Amino acid sequence: MNPLLEAALRARRNAFAPHSGFLVGAALEDGAGTIHTGCNIENATFGLTLCAERVAVFKAVSEGVRGFRRIAVAADTATLTPPCGACRQILWEFCGNIEITLVNPRGRQETMRLQDLFPRPFDANFLG
């Protein structure tokens, strides 16, 4: 299996999801080929929960990384799980029309561009 997908599946095992039991991992590859991982981290109020994709982006950005190639998102669902709306917005702003691969632990996978999931994004172009 591809190292990016393996990293997302490994990151999934670190998820902190005591309320939903829904474990998600993400692995984000930067322009130099370094992989930055994230997992979902729940909070009892749910609104303060962070998704795996945002954790991976924020970790990389906090280390000074600015250019990204692709991301893998891993969840244990039969129907592959795409990023939520908030994650799509963050991915668009920080990564642009990045390649996204969805994967589950049974090896099912699908690859697309963010634009396919987020056809009319809001970004800084609208701010004038």
Residue spans per domain, the chain:
3-122
Q: Kindly name the residue from 29, 53, 93, 110 that is annotated as catalytic.
A: 53
Q: What pLDDT does residue 38 have?
A: 98
- DSSP-assigned states of every residue in the chain: --HHHHHHHHHHTT-B-TTT---EEEEEEETTS-EEEEE-B--TTSTT-B-HHHHHHHHHHHTT---EEEEEEEES-SS-----HHHHHHHHHHHSS-EEEEE-TTS-EEEEEHHHH-SS---GGGG-
42 in active site: no
Tell me the backbone φ, ψ of residue 86, rounded to 5 degrees.
-60, -40
In this structure, whether the domain defined by 3-122 belongs to CATH 3.40.140.10 is answered with: yes
Q: Classify residue 125 by burial, with Cβ atoms within 10 Å: 0-12, 13-18, 19+.
A: exposed
Q: What pLDDT does residue 128 have?
A: 81
**Mean pLDDT, each 10-residue run in order, the chain (128 residues):** 96 97 98 98 95 98 97 97 97 97 97 96 90
Q: What pLDDT does residue 1 have?
A: 75
